[in-house]
Structure 1
Amino acid sequence: MGLTPKENMLKLLRHEVPEYVPYQPEAFQMIRANALHEKPLGYVTGYDWFGVHWTCEGGLAVPTAGRKPVLEDVTEWREKVIFPDLDHWDWEKYAAEDCKDRDPSKLTFIIMPTGPFERLHALMGFENALCALLTDPEECGEFFSAVVDFKIRQMYYLKKYYHVDIVHFHDDWGQQRDLFFAPDIWRTLIRPHIKRAVNAAHELGIYFIMHSCGKIDRIAGEIAGLEVDVMDPAQPVNDLARWKREFGDKVAFMGGIDAQNIVDNESVPEEEVRAEVRRKINLLAPGGGYIPFAVSMSPRNAIVLDEIKKYGAEFYKKN
């Protein structure tokens, strides 16, 4: 008898070769933890628990343009940024509602949006946040430490009440051509706190997916060195062949499939979409460690999922 999708995914997360390429929808159950008010409930227009106003655009929540920032000077963060008291949050009520349809045959997967750098620019605006990294690095570092302390506390309650298996920790550090900032800024101000979050998750028995969009090649090996379990979304603007070659034995990759140029491009024929799935499985799945995925909201993502299931089912039998 073969492995269940959950068992197969756990083999991959333990750095073992799975029986077949994991098919994400069968192995993961994404539960939206409405106890986390990092963005408005339901990802619609409204305020988060720090007073930032968000607007839903194209299915994604972004800070509303034109609003006065909550924090104009990073040196004032201790007075202006109030962290909610999670000990008095009604976790039991939220979890009962959010988990009422939990599927025990799948791994419970919860997104933790708005990591330390994302929280800074949500409060200050993107340009001001980048300037603060240069003008007041020590204050930024202390703010990031406080944000991650807050995130670690959230993980404790997500484990206790939601029985989470995997957290998907968001903090974007790159755009399509390079990082938002010099690698040394990341190494000094952000890296140590992400490492604390990873360690805390593992101590709680939670797998840690590090989500960072963009071209993050210059720090990718160091992210893997933090002992994150999965790097996501492994966008193809990066040198994914090098990632697999140099540190694919240390970390799993999720994503990799070219959504921007292939999946979301209606002029690209279906067979090329399927070929892209096969290319990325051939590149990243040998020896295990690959969860194919396309960051796409296009209906054509159904083609991607179909090809992952078909091609991935036989991959390890042939290789």
Structure 2
Amino acid sequence: MNSRELVYKTLNFDNPERAPRQKWVLPWANNHYPEELAKLHEDYPDDFDGAPGYYAEKDISEGDPTDIGESTDAWGCKFLNYQKGIIGEVKEPLIQDEEWKDVNNIHIPREWLTIDKEKINEFCKNSDKFVFGGCCPRPFEQLQFIRGTENLFIDLMLRPQGLLDFMGKMHEFYCELLTKWAETDVDGLSFMDDWGSQKSLLINPSIWEELFKPMYKDYIDIAHSHGKKIFMHSDGYILDIYPHLVELGLDAINSQLFCMPMDELVKFKGKITFWGEIDRQNLLPYGSTEEIKDAVKLVKNNLWDNGGCIAQCEFGPGAKPENVKQVFETWNELFK
């Protein structure tokens, strides 16, 4: 069974021989533990890959967002970073006007639509891994970059027409982008938004349901109408939106499982695939290898249902390489 088949069996709850693997490696890990990381890749190769877009046009982004200094994203947002290996913050939002009358400051990166489908299909043909498309809509987060987090929260309450109009344009662009990728031979699409604080959603769940759930429904429907699987990432405590994501038919969710009660998460066992993860706030940087073993067993024992779990964790700031290794070693042992 190759990696692609393994992932499909996992997503379809079809009794795969093991949990598929995926390492999320931040530049920090490359900078601090290059030898350990190379060994990790050798011993526990990923079952996933991402297709390049082979774009005909370059977007307006400049600089490396993980380097110290300034960088600009494809929408024109300028980030300032003080620590190498992670991404900085936007200090001067593009939208300063409360009615969004300066909306022309925003560049919608239509360059992303200039993908070369033939080259992407060739890439997929030559891979035996589960291949993700090279796009990832993030409407809530991009709105924060554009407007600033505090200002956006106010806008979501007051609903200036300029905000609503731009959200419509952004969503239309994201749908067009996902459709372009769905028309290629990739296996899966993805989108993301960090919705959770440590103990709750960042906004009232009713606002999420009114404004953002319909967007996500469109993303999921686009994927499924083209025969693709679709994945989502969201940090923090997001238990409030889990039932909605299951209802919408999302195939897999990457969330911080250890920010939420396991006895609540187990209710979704067999209904959605848990795309990782293992606690990167406490266990990966500070835990022992025995505690890592226990954490992986907790996830497997509670959430595996003839599939429905992916052996994923993030090798990011503070994580001990021996703990990241232990995550994948333990997942392997549980299927012997």
TM-score higher than 0.5: yes
Aligned to 1:150: 173
Superimposed CA distance per residue, residues 157-193 of structure 1 (whole angstroms, 9 cap, x where no aligned partner): 33446x3222231111111121111001001111111
Q: Share of identical aligned residues, percent?
A: 24
Q: Which residue of 2 aligns with 1:317?
A: none
Aligned partner of 1:134 in structure 2 is 157
Structure 1 residue 305: deviation in Å?
A: 1.7
Cα distance in 2 for partners of 1:308, 1:39 equals 38
The Cα shift of 1:86 comes to 4.7
Does residue 23 (structure 1) correspond to residue 21 (structure 2)? The answer is yes
C-alpha separation in 2, matches of 1:238 and 1:132: 28
* CA-CA distance at 1:31 after TM superposition: 4.2
Q: Deviations over 1:230-283 (max 9, x none)?
A: 0112431112332222x3232111114222111111xx3222212211221111
Question: How far apart are the structure 1 equivalents of 2:275 and 2:263?
Answer: 14
Moved more, 221-230 or 287-296: 287-296
Residues 27 and 216 of structure 1: CA distance in aligned 2, closer, same or farther (over 3 Å): same
Written as runs of structure 1 = structure 2, the 5 A alignment for 1:203-214 is 203-214=225-236
Q: CA deviation at 1:113?
A: 4.3
Which of 274, 294, 299 is residue 313 of structure 2 equivalent to?
294
Q: Residues 39, 85 of structure 1: CA spacing in aligned structure 2 closer, same or farther, 3 A cutoff?
A: closer
Partner of residue 87, structure 2: 61
- Asked if structure 2 preserves the Cα contact closer than 8 Å seen for 1:50 and 1:82, the reply is yes
Cα 1:302/1:77, change in 2 over 3 Å: farther
Contact 1:281–1:292 under 8 Å retained in 2: no
TM-score, normalised via structure 1 length: 0.82
Could you tell me which residue of structure 2 aligns to residue 164 of structure 1?
Answer: 186
Q: Would the alpha carbon gap of residues 135 and 259 (structure 1) be closer, same or farther in structure 2, given more than 3 Å must change?
A: same
- Give CA-to-partner distance per residue, 1:44-68, whole Å, 9 cap, x none: 4422222101345453334333x3x
Q: 1:163-202, aligned counterparts within 5 Å?
A: 163-202=185-224
Going from structure 1 to structure 2, the CA distance change for 1:295 and 1:235 (only over 3 Å counts) comes to farther
TM-score by length of 2: 0.79
Q: 1:170 to 1:112 in 2, by over 3 A?
A: farther
8 Å contact from structure 2 (residues 53, 115) kept in 1: no
Structure 1: where are the runs of 5+ without partners? 315-319
| Structure-1 separation of matches of 2:46 and 2:129 | 7
Q: Which amino acid aligns with 2:217?
A: K
Q: CA deviation at 1:106?
A: 0.2
Q: Which moved more, 1:10-19 or 1:218-227?
A: 10-19
Partners of 1:204 and 1:38 lie apart in 2 by 30
* Pair 1:37–1:285, CA change in 2 (3 A): farther
1:91 correspondence with 2:115: yes
Aligned residue identity for 2:290: E
Aligned counterparts of 1:40 and 1:203: Cα–Cα separation in 2? 35
Q: 1:241 to 1:143 in 2, by over 3 A?
A: farther
Give the paired residue count: 303
Return the alpha-carbon distance in structure 2 between the equivalents of residues 18 and 84 of structure 1: 39
Instruction: Mark the CA change 1:48 to 1:8 in structure 2 (over 3 Å): closer, same or farther.
Output: same
Unaligned runs of 5+ in 2: 23-44
> In structure 1, what is the equivalent of residue 301 of structure 2?
282
1:121 correspondence with 2:121: no
Q: 1:80 to 1:64 in 2, by over 3 A?
A: closer
Q: 1:39 to 1:194 in 2, by over 3 A?
A: farther
Q: Which amino acid aligns with 2:90?
A: T
User: In 2, distance between residues paired with 1:47 and 1:207?
Assistant: 31
Q: Does 1:46 align with 2:71?
A: yes
